[in-house]
Every structure is written in C-alpha cells, then in structure tokens.
Amino acid sequence: MLEVKNVRVKYDTATILDDASLNVEKGELVGLVGPNGAGKTTLLRAIAGLINWDREVLRGTRKSDVTFEGTIEFEGERIDRLSAFGVAKKGIQLCPQMGRPFPEMSVKDNLLAGAYLCKSRKEVQQSLTRVYELFPRLKEREKQLAGTLSGGERQMLAVGRSLMRRPKLMLVDEPSSGLAPKIKDDLFKRVEEIYKELGVTILLAEQDISFAFALSKRNYVVSRGHIIAQGTAQELLKDETIRKTYLGM
C-alpha cells in the first residue's frame, strides 16, 4: 500500500532523514519507534506532502532551504511530488502530535472541518456519528471551543477529525505524548478499534515503546534520521543492543 524508498530530508545543512525506507501493507498497523528527535515526525510529514509545503513556504526567504530526495508510492502511484492536499485526496491523513485543533472553533466545527473531502451531507453525518460513538466525550463537548479542551480531549479530537475523511491510511504522530496513564489506556483502545474494527491501515509514530509494541504488527526503529532495524516487537526485544541502546528498555 505504502512504499517509502531512500528518503532524505535536509533543512539547510541539517540532515533530518537519511536513506529512510519502509513499507506498509493494507490492513497493517506498523509502528515507527525511537527517541525524541529521531526523525519520526519528519518522515510522517514527508509522506503527507508537507515537506513540499515547507519548501514552498521557505522558498526565497532567509529562514531555511529544504531538500528532499527519494520516492514515496501509495497504492502503486508516486505521491512525493504532490501537494499535501493532493496526498490527502488519495486517502492519506496525518493526525498530528498534540492534537493541534482550531482553538476558536467548536469541537463539532473542528470535526466538520476534517470532512471537507466527503462527497455528501449523508457521508458527513455518518462520519460524525461514527466519531461520536468512538469518542462519546467529544459528543458531550461538541459546542465547546476546542482551545479549552484538556490534552487528552484534544488528542481525541485530532483522531476524530482525521477519521472524518474516511482515510485509507492514517499517519498517527505520538498520540500518547503528555497524557495521563488512564487517558493513554483509553486512547490505546480507541486506536485498536480503529485498526481492527474500522479496518483503517495505520502508521503509528511513538516514543512510548510499550504503547506501540502492544498495538503494532511490525515496527521500524528510527535513530538520528536512520531506520536502523525492523521486525516484530518480539524480534526487536531479543536484540540486546537494539533494546538497550535505541529502545531504552
């Protein structure tokens, strides 16, 4: 379904990703694990078409120059030359770290904003109903301004907003970051439900190794911009060097 080949991303002279390759099959939940600053978010942004957006925004400024090398294919079609909007139209949705809602809009309006690619009102309403069933708290808060939500509620909103478009592939970036254990456990169940019951393919970036390993079928370990290992949780944990040096376990 998704094939990332030899991707390299640089901001000025800083190499953020170097020769990164991975694949995700339809129906999988694949973990992308590693410490903060390893390059996980940059890889998700590259897949989502946002590195191209960075290049357009920074072109002609003194802020930074962005370079991208490599190829990204989705369902057999090359997408690394598409805009972020073009990638979204193909069925790929990025769920960002820390939620990032539109703070001055209500919870419901944030969700509806995620449905702009839906083809009919009926489809929008069906998606909204599905999100509210998955996250009853969002239904309770639907008239509340998103900027007043707790961290856990913002993350629920981010996941729900991503689901509104009925994506084929969700790129979920650090969903457990900063959450209390109880809220994290609930979010774990919701992500598992999205994957198993709704059948959405997921690439999950996580620092919390136990969170990712409990959900994922396969995993890629990222360190300093390189993918240095891949395998099931059991296979990776058997390698003492990987476990201690890169997974902190």
* CB half-sphere exposure, 94, CA atoms < 13 A: 23
- If you write DSSP's letter for every residue of 158-199 in order, what string do you get? HHHHHHTT--SEEEEE-TTTT--HHHHHHHHHHHHHHHHTS-
* pTM, entire model: 0.90
**63-78: per-residue pLDDT in tens?**
568 889 999 999 999 9
In the structure encoding, which two tokens stand for residue 173, read together?
A: 């970036």
Residue keyed to tokens 């509340």: 144
Domain layout of the chain by residue ranges:
2-246
Share of the chain above pLDDT 70, in %: 93
Is it true that domain 2-246 has CATH number 3.40.50.300? yes
75-79, 96-100, 119-123, 133-137, range with the lowest pLDDT: 96-100
